[in-house]
Amino acid sequence: MTSGFPNEIPVDQGRGVMLRDALIVAIALVAVSVAAALSLPRGADDAAPSRAIVFSPWTSERDALAMTLAAGHRVLRSGIARFIVITAPSADPGIEQVKPEGALLMLALSGLAGCLDARSPADASS
């Protein structure tokens, strides 16, 4: 029911507009998230590069390191956040590197300098 104002939208039509707008925002959010995830460097498994293994933010550093070691990775150190672990390339390039249990992402380290923290000036320049 309207009050006679010319710019007033009926209640039922207003809900439809709000739902349509919310759907458009949700689709855009999903599309941007998928595009960002696909743009991360994965690296070929046969090249066996150093990797940044990312766990959920509530994973402790000790748990992240333990899960990474349990999966057979050679751990170099923790990343800039306590839930990121930096691993060395496999000693045997023929061995496939599997994602540790609980890991969200396993990314090739090339181009991901943000995962590293500059603990000393020498680290920052390399």
| pLDDT tens digits for range 45-62 | 445 577 888 999 999 999
Q: What is the pTM of this model?
A: 0.56
pLDDT at 122 (0 to 100)? 46
Whether residue 3 lies inside any domain: the answer is no
> Could you list the residue range(s) of the whole structural domain that residue 21 is in?
10-39
User: Which residue, among 101, 124, 109, has the nearest Cα to 41 in the 3D structure?
Assistant: 109
| pLDDT tens digits for range 38-49 | 776 665 544 557
Average pLDDT, the chain: 76
3-state SS, residue 50? coil
Q: In terms of domains, do 68 and 32 share one? A: no
**Residue that wins the pLDDT comparison between 22 and 36:** 22
Number of domains in the chain: 2
User: Which residue, among 126, 49, 60, 58, has the nearest Cα to 87 in the 3D structure?
Assistant: 49
pLDDT at 64 (0 to 100)? 92
pLDDT at 11 (0 to 100)? 56
- From the number of C-beta atoms within 10 Å of its C-beta (0-12, 13-18, 19+), residue 73 rates as buried
**How far apart, in whole angstroms, are the C-alpha atoms of residue 83 and residue 31?**
26
Interval 16-20 mean pLDDT: 82
Whether residue 124 lies inside any domain: the answer is no
Q: In terms of domains, do 30 and 73 share one? A: no
